[in-house]
Structure 1
Amino acid sequence: MTVRPQLSLEPVHSSDIPTVADLDVAAFETDIVAVHINPRGTTTQARLANVKYRHGQMLADSEKRGLKFFKVVRQDTGEIAAYGIWGYHAPQKDPNEPADDCDEEFLAAFEKALGTTQQQFVGDRPHWYLKLICTHPKHQGLGAASPIIRWGLKQADEQGLPAYLEASPMAQPIYEKFGFRVVGQAVVNDAVSVPVMVREPQPSKSP
């Protein structure tokens, strides 16, 4: 029987940005949305520089934007296995952001569709938003993302707030195990459909 390594949930520091940006790219390399955003099929230096910059800026402005950054670290190797961001304040366009060589038209349509769908299903209700979560392919199957999900759901339940996310079709069953339910689809250019999921707050269990 394979013994899973011990995992620890820790805050992300600025020194982690290169690693978590690489993890982000690796985790979503074959995702259907990523394939449309990056039709070349390979990650260029421009693409990687853009991802690192965006994550660095979000972390630097995390307090102002209401974002919480987490990493899950394997205790046996010290590697970052998973990375996630909870919050619901979307970052504004940064004029200093380095150029990306992805499909900007599709990316803009994708971000617009997500914003429209979020407004449709949670509107102005206070809520926790799982903005990003990813596990490096080499660490998949260890449950590395679970501590990040549980952290946000604990906040949501304690505050009596719903939790919201957009899921990849592959990850949808995982979120369903945590109580999320599909409430709709974010459709981008009639080419990509992303499940939208909401989890209503759950009462605390009696001791």
Structure 2
Amino acid sequence: MAERGRPKGASGEESRALLLEIAAKEFAQHGYHKTKVSSIVKGASLSQPTFYLYFKNKEAVFEELEHLFRLQILDFTKKSRLQPQLESTAIRARIAYNLKELLAFLAKNPDLTRIGFYLSTKADEVKAQIVEQIKDNLDFEVSAGYFRKDLDTQMVAESLMGIIERLTFIQLLPQQKEPEEVANDIVDLLIAGMLNRKNGDQ
């Protein structure tokens, strides 16, 4: 049944949130160009007039999803900075936990992740901002004494972004591994390295 006028209170917010959720699913499954306003409102069981109460057009709802992804992923990245004076025994566990939280966000929001990382024309810009935030975190952590002074933080930030992006695509979104597993794998590689320490350094 079509609504008349702007829904009030919680119902209005719920309608808007539902439109965003269905729009994310449609864009993620069908791409931007094949997604239509009519398919979004059908999936949400709402009317087209209701859609236009909240969004000017298809582009507007897509841009809001892009913006939502950017805000949330940068917030998780910012919060992942290690705080000063951590016990040395806690550093590895804290890095793994922070990384797991970020990966869990990506895994729990697969449609938004596909839009933000892979479909959006602004994806490269968002990834560059993530890299910048990771580098800022690393610079702070180097000054706090957690990592060696000669660490190339730009290279590490770029590498970590590449690892996160690729493993999200091949392991998280297809649900091959849980966020905690992926986080631990990344930390094992970056912190423990690749050499077989049992045989000693060559």
Normalization by structure 1: what TM-score? Answer: 0.21
Q: Bigger radius of gyration, 1 or 2? A: 2
Q: Larger % of helix: which?
A: 2
Q: Larger % of strand: which?
A: 1
Normalization by structure 2: what TM-score? Answer: 0.22
